[in-house]
Structure 1
Amino acid sequence: MTARARSRPGMGDICLAITRSTVEATRLFATSALAAPAGLIGRWVRSDDGSRSRVFRETTVRGRRPADPVVLVVRFRLRWVGRARWAHTVFRSICAASTPAFAGFPGFVTKLWLADPWTRVYRGVYEWDGADRAEWYAARLTRVLGLVSVRGSVAHVVLEGLDRDGFVDGRLPLPSGTPSERRAS
């Protein structure tokens, strides 16, 4: 886990970063470099708090391998939807629309989208190239997620020198990212 200081970016900085990401993601779409593989959809991934989440989407940049691999784990609970199944179904179905907002960030390699059907916690498990780039992205993402999430539920952790395989195959549990330890909003 990194111990870097987390800056709190302003909304102007966030909008500029998302605009740049969207431009780069459009280029990735146009060159067929951005993909949504289905092989891991439905896979269960366990967390160190005993919960389990199910993969419902994957986004990846084809052929991109990190020189400095890190795993970024983000967790949050949506505000206002509560236990309404239909609202969670709608949220999961529109997640693809957010792809340009993150897939063009510098260092992005892959993202697994996970949902815990019992606790209603959502997780993003990213592979990133470089801890500084992952933290830079996470500072912006957690600020945006704070607008739509239950207060105190947004958290992230960057794990250096890892890839997502150990989490996906069950050798490693995902860090729970408890707000008291890794609070981001």
Structure 2
Amino acid sequence: MPLRPIADFLRYHARFFTGKVKISPRGQAALPGAPAGYRPFLTVARKSPTASPAAALRVTFRVHKVNFWQRTLLPYGSIPFFAGAPGFISKTYLVNPQQSSFCGLYQWESAQAAQTYIESYQGRFMRRNALPGSVSFEIQPIADKDEA
């Protein structure tokens, strides 16, 4: 099912204004699963998702220079478009200023939801704003704690 920007935007705001989404600035501590040299700076998460996370998506990309636009305006401005997407559970933003690169660590309800995100308008937007050829996407399954 393709993502729809207006529907995702409205769904996010419905979640936000009913207290179902939490936005938290993160400290400088390292995060498990993060690439070396990256520091978390923002986390967005649904408070009570309808399903457990089944897929982790890691997106990395480089920019010409880490600036106010990429560190503040773009992350906060993009939240309504991915946090309202069907299957979204959480995202942590990370930055590596020495390499002028960013990373997003997502959790999705399914690998299909993560793949849909990659192929959607959000994935295309990332490719346009990153240095050519620097965007990478990696989807990994998350083991169900009950099965482990």
What TM-score do you get using the length of structure 2 for normalisation? 0.84
2:21 matched residue in structure 1: 34
Structure 1's consecutive aligned runs of 4 or more residues displaced over 4 angstroms after TM superposition are none
Aligned residues: 139
Q: Deviations over 1:134-159 (max 9, x none)?
A: 11011123211111111001110110
What residue number does 1:60 align with? 45
Q: How far apart are 1:65 and its partner, in Å?
A: 5.8
Confirm or deny: 8 A CA contact 1:76 1:153 kept in the other structure. yes
CA distance in 1, matches of 2:109, 2:116: 12
The aligned residue for residue 97 of structure 2 is 117
Encode CA deviations 1:16-44: one digit per residue, 9 max, x unaligned: x2211101001011101111134x43222
Q: CA RMSD in A?
A: 2.0
Moved more, 57-66 or 106-115: 57-66
Report which of the two has the higher share of strand.
Answer: 2
User: Among residues 83, 89, 112, which one is paired with 1:132 in the alignment?
Assistant: 112
Q: CA deviation at 1:63?
A: 1.6
Which ranges in structure 1 are unaligned for 5 or more consecutive residues? 1-12, 164-185
CA distance in 1, matches of 2:78, 2:123: 14
Specify every segment of 5 or more residues in structure 2 that has no aligned partner in the other structure, as ranges: none
Superposed displacement of residue 90, structure 1: 3.3
Partner of 1:157: 138
Paired residue secondary structure (1:29): helix
**Identity in percent:** 22
Residue 98 of structure 1, CA deviation: 1.2
